[in-house]
Amino acid sequence: MMNGKMGFTLVNRTGFTRARFIVGFLAAPVLLYLVYVISPYAQAFYIAMTNWRGVNANPQFVGLENFERLLGDDVFWTAVGHNGLLLILLPLFTVTIALFFAFLLNAGGSGGGMSGIWGSGFYRVVFFFPQVLAVAIVAVLFQQVFRPDRSGMLNGPLVAFGLEPIGFLSNPDIAFWSILGVLVWQAVGFYVVLFSAGMASIPREMYEAAQIDGAGRVQLFVRVTLPLLWDTVQVGWIYLGIAALDVFAIVWVMTAEHGGPDHSTTVMAAEIYRNAFQYFKFSYASAMGVVLFFFTVAFAVLAMRLSRRERIEF
């Protein structure tokens, strides 16, 4: 009886010591998260319901007035539409291209079996290179690529052949698609490496068994690679969707009027920055930030639910 009590006491003490260690280990990061992440969000919610302009010491509480103004703000809803397009197109193009290149690097070799193309290690480095560059550097780089004269990388050959240069960033009908191309170029490399790592973990025996059954490369990708890589694709899709809602630096640095011409490339983050630091409408910008916050959370929850499926173990 005594031994049973002593064993029970020892288990309790061990569990208490472990719980105390876990709580002590997590206390500092949780505190930092509360101070530097949760606290600014809470302040943004409060500021959004005032008339604070960044300089008035005693802002007045105005309730939902800023959100009512948002309903009639055509520029803001134009920005929401652009973010909505990016939310669909950026993950779609990036994931599709990244999966294609990753499959080539891991299973596109000309030899027998599931081998990658020659020099696949070098290509992984090349694909990943844009991730090393700062976003502002990428924006300045593509400003030069899209220049509408003979010094532009794309327009130079056109001018040399006597053709009219294309206003990639000055034509409202083209500017948004030019920005989308830059975003895809910047993001694809990371997901090529991510998907390549996922494909490398798939047992070769599965591919060999499918090949013995007569499966071609397309069937191997659709029936073997994609189902086993689905969790990784799901994570990449969600990250890209959140990135599409958070686009700022590329638009702000690359485009005329920081979202132009004629608001043809503006996004929610650009309008938040413009209203806060150019017009000093901090409360109005905070209301936009609150809307962006709910859009982001809603997208993440919806994407997780729609892409939920039975996990495949291997």
* 3-state SS track over 213-276: CCCCHHHHHHHHHHHHCHHHHHHHHHHHHHHHHCCCHHHHHHCHHHCCCCCCCCCHHHHHHHHH
Specify the pLDDT at position 1.
46
pLDDT tens for 125-149 read 888 888 888 888 999 999 989 988 8
Question: 288: number of CA atoms within 13 Å, CB side?
Answer: 26
Locate 60 and state its tokens. Answer: 């007045």
Question: Is the distance from CB of 256 to CB of 169 less than 8 angstroms?
Answer: yes
CB atoms within 10 A of CB 31: 10
In angstroms, rounded to a whole number, what is the distance separating the alpha carbons of residues 112 and 314?
23
Q: Is 55 helix (H, G, I), strand (E, B) or coil?
A: coil
What number does CATH give the domain 69-306? Answer: 1.10.3720.10
What pTM does this model have? 0.83
Which run of H or E residues covers position 65?
helix 65-71
Q: Is 11 helix (H, G, I), strand (E, B) or coil?
A: helix
Specify the pLDDT at position 156.
86
In angstroms, rounded to a whole number, what is the distance separating the alpha carbons of residues 275 and 158?
39
Locate 269 and state its tokens. Answer: 């983050």
pLDDT tens for 39-89 read 888 888 899 999 888 777 788 888 899 999 999 999 999 999 999 999 999
Specify the pLDDT at position 27.
82
Question: Bridge-partner residues for 50, per DSSP?
Answer: 61
Query: Could you say which residues of the chain have pLDDT below 70?
Result: 1-16, 108-117, 119, 215, 307-314
**Residues whose CB falls within 8 Å of the CB of residue 57, separated by 6 or more in sequence, listed in order:** none
Specify the pLDDT at position 44.
87
Q: Is 61 helix (H, G, I), strand (E, B) or coil?
A: strand
Specify the pLDDT at position 87.
92
Locate 190 and state its tokens. Answer: 């990371």
Question: Is the distance from CB of 268 to CB of 79 less than 8 angstroms?
Answer: yes
